[in-house]
Amino acid sequence: MKKEKEIVMSGIRPTGFLHLGNYFGAIQNYVKMQEDYECYFMVADLHSLTTHPDTKELKANVHRVLAENIACGLDPEKVALYCQSHLYQTAELYLYLNMLAYKGELEKTPTFKDKVRQHPDNINAGLLTYPVLMAADILIHRAKYVPVGKDQEQHLEITRTYANRFNHRYEEVFPEPFAFNFNNELVKVPSLDGSGKMSKSENQMATIFLADEDDAIRKKIMKAKTDSGPTLNNSLKPDYIENLFLLMKLVSSSETVKLFEDKFDNCTIRYGDMKKQLAEDMVQFISPIRKRVNDILNDEAYLQKVMKQGAEKAIASAEATMQKVRNAMGLNYF
Ligand code: TRP
């Protein structure tokens, strides 16, 4: 008998442009998982309404995030790649879970408090119940594994709480979902200004986006901070130099990395040369992805097909769960 695949679910916020950190941190993980798991990857368009009521750019953002994920290797034939708003069953489960979600608990969630600080004029109930909607996204597929970063750990804990509450109050329906990443250690992609990770909201010049043109990539890398080089053989690398090597390890060949490591160790390194090499290797890495993204974005019929096909797979899985949920709750009068 064929062993059933374990279920993986994750949500991607449609916030526009993905960068190298997203690529190595998140998308690569999804791409590896699609081979061995039953995967549901969702564009979290409804979640974005909690903070962005203006929807003028929503469609373009949804298209972009789909195109970028596909261009990076996510295969809509292998996974269910869908939009949250196409899965109406989520709204139903969200409503039921809201009865198991206590206001006091939700108010204590750190992400809620952060958002209250950022959007003091729009503290709506959707924002308060953001974790309930996320729990519904995950539980609707009875997923076991959720590939997310550390910042979502709290939301997963809340999801486990609701799963357990539901199971205790009614019947055992939901497994407990846990964060899961392929590489135990998530790949860190350092920013180009020597501090922190690449991020969309921080310094844009220190972050390489998948949509960056070749010249923009070169310019960003050539601007990265360096110094006049080591003066003692086998010195320790300062953080900002270590970061350049980390980036090089991601996109250059191991021979290239070794060449510059050796030059650093014997104090003959010229950072200008190293950055030029890194820039060219980065361009080689990014430009095919950027071209694929643009091709996909220009083919709206294809994107619609992907969304439709994704929604069909997601609906089949969700409807099976909701039958169990309605039965467990006694909402089965016919
Ligand atoms: N809250 C997640 C984020 O900000 C996005 C998300 C929505 C999600 N629903 C999800 C992630 C379900 C994992 C599972 O990134």
Q: Are 206 and 222 a contacting pair, CB within 8 Å?
A: no
Q: Could you say which architecture CATH assigns to the domain 204-293?
A: Orthogonal Bundle (1.10)
- Where is pLDDT greater, at 275 or 150? 275
Q: Are 230 and 241 a contacting pair, CB within 8 Å?
A: no
CA distances to 38, 46, 60, 67 from 35, rounded to whole Å, are 8, 28, 29, 20
Q: Are 50 and 286 a contacting pair, CB within 8 Å?
A: no
Query: Best mutation site among 87, 151, 152, 317 for ligand 1, i.e. most ligand atoms within 8 A of its Cβ?
Result: 152
| Ligand 1, atom 14: closest residue by C-alpha | 10
Does the structure show a pLDDT above 70 at 183? no
Query: Ligand 1 centre and the CA of 188: distance in Å?
Result: 20
Three-state SS at 148: coil
Domain ranges of the chain: 7-180+299-329, 204-293
Element (H, E) at 146: strand 145-146
Query: Ligand 1 centre and the CA of 178: distance in Å?
Result: 13
pLDDT in tens, 39-80: 999 999 999 999 999 999 999 999 999 999 999 999 999 999
pLDDT in tens, 197-241: 888 777 788 999 999 999 999 999 999 999 999 999 999 999 999
**CATH class given for the domain over 7-180+299-329:** alpha beta
Q: Ligand 1: residues within 6 Å at CB?
A: 9-11, 13, 44, 47, 134, 137-138, 146, 148, 152, 155
- Distance from the first to the final alpha carbon of the chain: 35
Give the residue numbers annotated as catalytic, written as ranges. 115, 197, 200
Distance between CA atoms of residues 301 and 68, nearest Å: 16
> H helices then E strands: how many in the chain?
15, 5
Portion of the chain with pLDDT greater than 90, in percent? 89
Query: Ligand 1 centre and the CA of 191: distance in Å?
Result: 23
Cα 310–chain centre separation: 18
pLDDT of 202: 72
Query: Ligand 1 centre and the CA of 142: distance in Å?
Result: 15
Per-residue DSSP letters for 268-286?
A: ---HHHHHHHHHHHHHHHH
pLDDT of 320: 98
Cα 138–chain centre separation: 15
Question: What does the pLDDT average to over 275-280?
Answer: 98
Beta strand 178-179 with 38-43 is: unpaired
Distance between CA atoms of residues 313 and 114, nearest Å: 35
| Ligand 1, atom 11: closest residue by C-alpha | 11
Element (H, E) at 220: helix 214-222
Instruction: Please give the angle made by the CA atoms of 280, 234 and 198, to the nearest 5 degrees.
Output: 40
| Ligand 1, atom 8: closest residue by C-alpha | 11
Does the structure show a pLDDT above 60 at 1? no
| Ligand 1, atom 7: closest residue by C-alpha | 11
Ligand 1 atom closest to the Cα of residue 9 is 14
Question: What does the pLDDT average to over 12-24?
Answer: 91
Does the structure show a pLDDT above 90 at 246? yes
pLDDT band at 135 (very low <50, low <70, confident <90, very high): very high
